[in-house]
Structure 1
Amino acid sequence: MKSLSIILPAFNEAANIRHVVEEAYQTIPTLTPIFEIIVVNDGSKDGTGDICDQLVEEFPDVRIVHHPRNRGYGAALKSGIERARYDIIFFTDSDRQFDLKEVAALLEETDAYDIVAGYRARRQDPPHRLLFAWGWNILVRIVLGVRIRDIDCAFKAFNRYVFDSIQIQSVGAMVNTEIFAQASRFGMTVKEVRVSHFPRRHGKPTGSKVAVIMKAFRELIKMRRMVHTITPDQPGLFKRQPSGLETVYSAPQEG
């Protein structure tokens, strides 16, 4: 049975983060006895960090990475993945829009595929976010040739070895596109699995802000140039040293 690292990026998710971690603790032990939950507090200002520190004390398998300032979604994912210790690396958002019980469906496919990517069958987001996502998926196919049904769905599982070759340089919303552009270039196999999606209950999304969208478009053009220069022997995240701009907290060991 494979061990599991769960990455939870969190920015101003004080109303959600405890619920997500508690749900993980109810679900994941039924799938594997060896797991960890890495919450990356990306410079939150609403008390998310304080709640994370409480969770470390309450749950022995929770680890927290604190960014002193907001560095972006890609940077948060990178910080979490760099510190993952186990066979399968799974990430999802901390906004309670996914059902963690459906992790099981992804894990079942990790023996046969390098990457297992969820896609939202009925996405529960406002119309403007749906329109942007539709256009973005088409644009990524045209510009990069990456044919993923729902590239930014935050419900993905990776075999650990994937990140021996794949790098993450994007600090923002482009991170999923960056990962899959490299995976496509290296001939990695991807399985897409249908997952449920629910309306956000608390907090506000940041991915649809105009500044975030414009930055993603600029990074897409850079990505097109970059993808033709990368080679499978490039050093991935696990062949580099973790960035040192954050603080990591783990539960104290007993004994």
Structure 2
Amino acid sequence: MAHYDISIVIPCYNEAEGLSIMRDRLGQALTGLRERGNVQLVLVNDGSRDGTGELLEQTFGSWPDTVIVHHATNRGLGAALRTGFAHASGEIIVTCDSDGTYPFSEIPALLDHLTPDVDLVTASPYHPGGGIENVPAYRIFISKSASLCYRLLVDARIHTYTALFRACRRHVIDHITTHADGFLMVTEWLVEALLSGYRVAEYPTTLRVRQYGQSKARVWQITKTHIRYMTSILQRRLTQPRTKAISHGR
């Protein structure tokens, strides 16, 4: 497997409608990123039923340093991310939403927060320096409530636990274990990194409504998985000494 400085992992599920926009915006971002080193693109088609897999091959199949992986059936965001990690060979791994929630043009700013004393940087709209634009109020309420609970259970210095837009050093992914196959895995990944003592920073930024396509999130189902995971964290806290996570960049 070739060596890369940066691997960008993007899970895709029924995103045919927005792939042309994604291609244009991602292409522009990659031009600048390649000035920082060798960049690999990993696209995971998570069992899409709208032709996304075929369009990914047509649109990105000829791009250099690009890997396209297909799940035969929809397995969930967490499973798609783990597949992406397995095919990524960069020393730094960036994960992005395919729908433009956080612009690809912000990847350099995200990476700038991954200083030598930081292991993982996560986007943070709930940080005092972040913001929210045009996102439905009920979704913000649920997401903010979840992050508040994790702040109480894990690390109060982290304001946002639910954002997929991240930059992470390879060794973190290699040494923590996640189990969730759905949206919960995004939070689980951050929580397990913190509980393992890895150093985490936040990138204050703006959360925007999807730029194209429709959300695949099933809110009640996701909420139930968070409640179960929070319960398991509380049980761990009660039965073992509290881990002092070292966090930077606030």
What TM-score, normalized to structure 1? 0.81
Q: Given the alignment, which residue of 10, 16, 20 partners 1:18? A: 20
1:93 paired to 2:97? yes
Corresponding position of 1:123 = 132
In structure 2, runs of 5+ residues without a counterpart are: 244-250
Corresponding position of 1:80 = 84
Q: Does the CA contact (< 8 Å) of 2:61 and 2:68 recur in 1?
A: no
What TM-score, normalized to structure 2? 0.83
Going from structure 1 to structure 2, the CA distance change for 1:141 and 1:111 (only over 3 Å counts) comes to: closer
Give the partner amino acid of 1:132: I
Tell me how far apart the structure 2 counterparts of residues 78 and 171 of structure 1 sit (CA, whole Å): 9
Q: Does the CA contact (< 8 Å) of 1:174 and 1:220 recur in 2?
A: no
Give the partner amino acid of 2:69: V
CA root-mean-square deviation: 2.3
Higher relative contact order (CA 8 A, sep 6+): 1
Q: What's the CA shift for 1:205?
A: 1.2
Q: Could you say what secondary structure the match of 2:89 adopts? A: coil
Going from structure 1 to structure 2, the CA distance change for 1:62 and 1:226 (only over 3 Å counts) comes to: farther
Q: Does the CA contact (< 8 Å) of 1:18 and 1:51 recur in 2?
A: no
Give the partner amino acid of 1:51: L
1:211 paired to 2:215? no
Corresponding position of 2:176 = 166
Q: Does the CA contact (< 8 Å) of 1:99 and 1:197 recur in 2?
A: no
Q: Given the alignment, which residue of 182, 185, 189 partners 1:175? A: 185
Q: Does the CA contact (< 8 Å) of 2:9 and 2:43 recur in 1?
A: yes
Give the partner amino acid of 1:55: T
Q: What's the CA shift for 1:104?
A: 0.8
Tell me how far apart the structure 2 counterparts of residues 223 and 18 of structure 1 sit (CA, whole Å): 41
Give the partner amino acid of 1:9: P
Q: Could you say what secondary structure the match of 1:161 adopts? A: helix
In structure 1, runs of 5+ residues without a counterpart are: 233-255
1:58 paired to 2:68? no
Q: Does the CA contact (< 8 Å) of 1:174 and 1:216 recur in 2?
A: yes
Corresponding position of 2:143 = 133
Q: Could you say what secondary structure the match of 1:87 adopts? A: strand
Q: Does the CA contact (< 8 Å) of 2:15 and 2:52 recur in 1?
A: yes
Q: Does the CA contact (< 8 Å) of 2:67 and 2:87 recur in 1?
A: no
Deviation digits for residues 5-64 of structure 1 (CA, Å, limit 9, x no counterpart) = 001111111112332233222112322341111111111111111111113333122211
Give the partner amino acid of 2:17: A
Give the partner amino acid of 2:63: F
Going from structure 1 to structure 2, the CA distance change for 1:134 and 1:63 (only over 3 Å counts) comes to: same
Tell me how far apart the structure 1 counterparts of residues 206 and 146 of structure 2 sit (CA, whole Å): 21
Deviates more, 1:127-136 or 1:204-213: 204-213
Deviates more, 1:53-62 or 1:125-134: 53-62
